[in-house]
Each structure stands twice: as C-alpha cells, then as structure tokens.
Structure 1
Amino acid sequence: MGVFAMVGRQLKLLRERAGLSQPEFGALVGYGPDQISAMERGVRTPRPDFLVKADPILNADGILIAVIPEVEDAMRRARTRHPEWYRGQAEMEKEAEELHFYANQAVPGLLQTADYARAVFAKRRPFLSEETIEKRVADRLSRQQVLERWPAPIVSYVLEEVMLDRPIGGKRAHADQLGHLLTVGDRQNIEIQVMPTKVEEHPSLGSSFNLLVPKGHEQVAYLEAQGHPQLIIHRDDVRKIADRYGIMRAMALTPKESRALIVEKLEKL
C-alpha cells in the first residue's frame, strides 16, 4: 500500500472514531468535504501542516504527526517519479486552467480507479515488475489531485463507448470503474460525454489526445502513440485538433445522456 493510501485509511478510521462526518471534520481543519474524501481515498496528498492540525482534533496522540517524514519523502519521490519525457506534461497538467480529453482505447488516467490502473499496467508488454506497477499506480492516482484543487479547472471528456464495454481488470474492477465515472461526472467542473459506437461518421479516427490551457499560456495539445509522446504548441496545429474535439463534443451524447448510458451498462453487469 502507498504512503498516501495508508495515511488516508488512518485519517478515515480516526475521523470515524471521533464521530465526525467529512463535512464536520473539514470545517474544523479548513478543508472542504471533497478534499477530505480525496485524502481518505489516497488520491490527494495530506500536507504536513494539515496533519499537525488534524492530530489533536482527531485525538490521534501523535500518530499523524509521526508519519510526516514518510509523507514528505513520498512527496519528494512523487515529484521525480514521472519518466523524463513526461515531466513537462505532468507539470502543465497540474497548473492547467482547462483540461480536455479524447480517449478511444482505455479510460484516461485522471479517471481511473486503482484496480483499473493496476490492470492496465499489469498487462502491458513487455511486462513490468510488481514494484514498477505499484509505483506507476501510485503516480497515476497522485495526478488525480488536479481534479481536487481550487480554483477547479474546467475539465471535459469524450470517451468512445467501446471503453464502457471493455472489462479491463475483470467484472468487479469494471463495475467499480463505471461507478467512479458516475461519481466524477457529478462534479460541477467536469463533463463526461460518450461517443456512441453506432455513429456513421467520425472526425478523428487517429489516436487519443489531450488539450490543455496552461496557466498564463495559450492552449496546447498532447498526444502519445506506442509510448512516443508529442507536445504540439504551433497555434494552427493546435487549432485543428481543437476543432476536431469541438465537432466530437457536438456529435457525442450529452453529459446527461452519457450518464444514463453508463448507469444502464452498470446495471447489466
């Protein structure tokens, strides 16, 4: 289990032992309930100053303070965990004002559950070691903090319907992943749309891609094929990709229709 997941479980147990709900505990430490939930799930880093403040509130008797060195070490390792080629993209993603994703093979990383991510990495060829798989899962979950920050970025997804039918990780992991899409899609700043498989025309039959608006900069595009990343910054090239994305959003199911489709598929499992 990763350090953040371990501390998250401790937080949840201590909070419940103290008889506090997530909103009640959040009010006492100056965090929103969504942020508390994210820390308890291990997808948001518990800052050392937060742990110092939370320890007496939860009557932890120094337990939370004692793990601060491990948390700080994990934070340092997380900052250098990304492969060299990805670090520029990772930094832009953390500070982006807008994030837009088109995915046609698997659920994008920021939406993945731990079990789904683990299944993705476990079946990658050539095979990865167990240690590498766990590190990459932890890295993927740590990236999801971008969805928890404030001010919240504007986020949208167009997902090909086939991804809702592909049971990566098995039936249980697949069901949990579909449920997670519903939970994330309920957030005010996030819209998830499904592109139906039955559409007869498609404006972008190439690879998946991301569009980002970095803080203080113009929109850029990022795509990756067979492990080869490409960051696109030329204005005309970015505009072409953005145009395709806009057409796909118009052709896809609305967020409400997409949610209904996900619910329908989940109920059939």
Structure 2
Amino acid sequence: MPRRATILGATGFVGKRLHARLASDGWEVFAPAKGDPEVFSRDLGTVFYCAGLTADYDARPFDTVAAHATLVSELIRAGRFERLIYLSSTRLYDGMAKATVDETQPLVFDPADPRRVYDLSKALGENLTLARTGGRGGVARLANVYDWEDGAPGFLSAWLIAARDGGDLTLDSSPHVARDYIHLDDVVAALVVMADGEAPGIVNVASGELVTNAQIAQVFAKAGRRVTFTGAARPPAPPNASVARLAALGVRPASVKDVVARYLGEGTRA
C-alpha cells in the first residue's frame, strides 16, 4: 500500500518539486487547494507544510501570520496526520550575534521591529509543530534555496536564469554579500528523509557554508563569463548554520560552487 502524503503549498517553489519527487517514489499525494476544508476531515498521512510568504511578507503582515501560524494551528488541532514536517527558515538566526549556530540555541527577536513579522510567525509555527503534536512534528529550517527553473525565486536563482543567454552579466548587488545556498533538489531529499523514522525535531536544511557573490562570480570567471556588481556594500554575514543534524540523517548537500560550475559547464540549459 503506498504511503500517504499531504503537501500544503504544493504549487509553490519547494512544494511543486516535492510533489514530483513523492509521486515518482510511489507516494499517494494529496495536494489541496488553498482553503480546502478536507484538510481538517480526511486522513492526511505525512503532512509537508510548505505554505508561506517570502518576498512580500512585509507588505502583507496579516497574510504572513495566517500562512505561517494560523493554518498550521488549525491543522494541528484537527489532528488528522501521522507526521508533520513544517518548513521554516535559517533567517530565524539573523538576530543572533554568533558566527555559528545550531538548532539547540534559543532564538533572539526584536518584537518592535515590523520586519520581524516573518521571523516571529515562523517561530510560532515551529513552536506549535514541536510542542503541540504529541511528538509527531519536525521542523526544517531552510537556507537560501535556489534553482534555475522559470520563476524560481531568490537572488541566485535570478542570476542563474539570466545566465542562460550567455555572455557577461551585470548584477544589482554587492560582491561582499554572503549567504548559505542549498539547491532545491537537496532540500527535497532532506524533507523526504525527515519524514522517515522518529520525529527529527529541528533540522537545519542548509549547506553549512557561507559563500559570497564574489566567490560565485569566480566560478563564472573560470567558465569564461564575467560578472560585474553595481553595489559595494559590506553587510555583516549571517550566522553560519550547523548541518551536523542533517549529515546525521545521511543528507550532504552539494556545494553551490560545484553546482554552478556544472550548470555552466552543461551550457546553462534549463
């Protein structure tokens, strides 16, 4: 009998790729539309909670809270699932003045900062998942996820999509900006592993390496492609998220520099 999964946010960036992977692996996948009341009445199996707002969270604070906390609260109260994997973000570490952080360390937020609605609502979703599911919940804190499919969000995704046309590139950013990047396929692999065995608690789904724009540009240079940046800002690097727990699950994401090198070497095909 096939395993049953429910993906909330199945039409989004991560949810769509996860849906394809689970279906390929033989799972029976329920991908409800937004507002479908069936999520409170049918057996959901393993729930992958991929719903959320990213780029426009500041302009839509109340929708952000509803997507990150209200819906998962109602889902947990209904209790019609075997396992719940809640997708969060390593952005929750940004308020911590530490070079390296792991999943055990308490988070730090300024509740008076209006831009923290993303972090605080995600943290509430995490709390409900970990504390109110009777041991059935796990949290995946995702780093900066990238891909080169049309419509893939994020700075690096846009960079790689623009690179398809060949030639040199000029980007509206600074070479000094550093982020932890993880490819979409590695994220999906981690989520599938987290659905097995005992509830994993919190897991940083990241590469464990902060990489600057300049370092990625060097990969382009080796492929004969020049990248110019219009900015020169030197923002502080975010904390580096430990990936020891992810490695213990058997998932070791590829380095972004290696993935980009392969992408460029294959002719930047979509």
TM over 0.5: no
Instruction: Please identify which structure carries the higher strand content.
Output: 2
Instruction: Please identify which structure carries the higher helix content.
Output: 1
Using structure 1 for the length normalisation, give the TM-score: 0.28
Using structure 2 for the length normalisation, give the TM-score: 0.28
